C-alpha cells in the first residue's frame, strides 16, 4: 500500500467515481471534493494531501483559481485535468505550478503512471534534517524546514525552490542541464521549461544580492544552470553519495 493521500477535485461525479475507484485499487487514500471551495475547506479541516488532481473547468471556482489560492500557502504537486490542450491552458497550468496535466478523455493506466511518477519524485528528495548548513559567509540553508538565511535574514522557500536548490547544490560548481532539472522536477519537460525559468528567477531573488555583486546561480546559455560559491564553507554534509 502506498499510504499516500490524493485529493480529487472535479464536479463531474461520474469521472470522480472512476478516478476514485481506480486510485483506491492502486492503494491510495482518496479525499473527494466537487468544487474548489469544498476542496480548500477540506484541506483546512484535514490537512494537506500528498497530491491533487483538479479539473480546470468547474462551476463557481475554476480549477485554475483553486490552484492560485492553494499555492498561497503550499506547493504540493498538482495534476490538471482538462478537456483541451490549447496553449492558454498549458500556460495557465505552468503559471500556477501544476506538475503535470492530462487531457480528457484519458487512459486510466496513463493517469496512474503519472501519479506514481510524481509520488516517486516526492519520495526521492530525502532532505538533510540536521540544522542549518552554512554555504558561505552570507548564505545558510535548512532543507528539512525549507528556508535559507541570507545575511542573517530568514527567508522561506517553496518546496519547488527547495528541490531546485538541493539539486544545484548537489552539483556545486557544475553545470546542471535543463533536461536533468526538468526530469527531476516535472513530468513533461517540453511544457515546463518556462516554469523552470520562473522558479530560477524567484530563487535568485531570494538568495542573491546584485547590488553587492553576489550571484550564486549562473545561466549557462543553451545548457542549463550552475550554482557557484566563491568561498564555500559547505563542510557539514557530503552530497556526493546522494541520489540526484
Q: Which domain-ending residue is among 70, 105, 124?
A: 124
Nearest to 218 by CA among 183, 180, 168: 168
Residues 173, 101, single domain; the answer is: no
114 lies in the same domain as 158: no
Name the packing angle between helices 108-124 and 178-185 (round to 10°). Answer: 110
The number of domains in the chain is 2
> Is the CB of residue 225 less than 8 Å from the CB of residue 181?
yes
**Chain segment 211-237, per-residue pLDDT in tens:** 677 889 999 998 999 999 877 665 444
Write down the pLDDT at residue 122. 64
Residues 195 and 226 in one domain: yes
Please state whether the peptide bond connecting residue 105 to the residue before it is cis, i.e. omega within 30 degrees of 0: yes
Q: Which domain holds residue 72?
A: 5-124
Is 197 or 91 the better-scoring residue by pLDDT? 197
Residues 133-179: tens digit of each pLDDT: 888 888 988 877 788 999 889 998 887 888 899 889 888 889 999 88
Q: Are residues 108 and 213 in the same domain?
A: no
Over residues 117-146, the mean pLDDT reads: 72
Q: Clarify whether residues 137 and 75 are in a common domain.
A: no
CATH classification of the domain holding 105: 3.40.50.2300
Contact at 8 Å (CB) between 219 and 225? yes
In CATH, what number is assigned to the domain containing residue 147?
Answer: 1.10.10.10
pLDDT digits (tens, 9 = 90+) for 1-21: 446 899 999 999 998 999 999
pLDDT at 92 over 70: no
Within 13 A of 152's CA, how many CA atoms are on the CB side? 0
Judge if 98 and 178 occupy the same domain: no
Question: 119 and 12 in one domain?
Answer: yes
Statement to judge: residues 143 and 199 lie in one domain: yes
Residues 119 and 161 in one domain: no
Predicted confidence (pLDDT) per residue in 196-214, tens digit: 888 899 999 999 986 677 8
Q: Are residues 73 and 104 in the same domain?
A: yes
Amino acid at each position: 500500500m502506498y499510504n499516500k493521500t490524493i485529493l480529487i477535485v472535479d464536479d463531474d461525479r461520474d469521472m470522480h467515481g472512476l478516478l476514485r475507484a481506480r486510485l483506491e485499487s492502486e492503494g491510495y487514500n482518496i479525499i473527494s471534493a466537487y468544487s474548489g471551495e469544498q476542496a480548500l475547506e477540506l484541506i483546512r479541516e484535514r490537512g494537506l494531501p500528498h497530491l491533487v488532481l483538479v479539473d480546470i473547468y468547474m462551476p463557481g471556482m475554476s480549477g485554475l483559481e483553486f490552484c492560485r489560492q492553494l499555492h498561497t500557502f503550499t506547493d504540493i504537486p498538482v495534476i490538471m485535468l482538462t478537456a483541451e490542450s490549447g496553449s492558454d491552458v498549458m500556460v495557465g497550468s505552468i503559471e500556477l505550478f501544476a506538475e503535470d496535466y492530462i487531457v480528457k478523455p484519458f487512459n486510466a493506466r496513463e493517469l496512474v503512471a503519472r501519479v506514481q511518477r510524481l509520488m516517486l519524485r516526492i519520495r526521492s528528495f530525502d532532505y538533510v534534517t540536521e540544522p542549518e548548513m552554512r554555504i558561505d559567509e552570507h548564505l545558510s540553508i535548512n532543507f528539512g524546514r525549507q528556508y535559507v538565511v541570507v545575511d542573517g535574514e530568514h527567508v522561506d522557500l517553496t518546496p519547488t525552490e527547495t528541490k531546485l536548490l538541493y539539486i544545484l547544490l548537489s552539483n556545486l560548481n557544475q553545470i546542471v542541464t535543463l533536461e536533468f532539472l526538468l526530469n527531476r522536477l516535472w513530468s513533461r519537460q517540453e511544457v515546463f521549461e518556462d516554469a523552470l525559468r520562473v522558479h530560477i528567477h524567484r530563487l535568485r531573488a531570494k538568495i542573491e544580492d546584485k547590488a553587492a555583486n553576489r550571484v550564486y546561480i549562473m545561466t549557462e546559455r543553451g545548457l542549463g544552470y550552475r550554482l557557484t560559491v566563491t568561498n564555500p564553507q559547505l563542510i557539514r554534509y557530503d552530497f556526493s553519495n546522494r541520489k540526484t
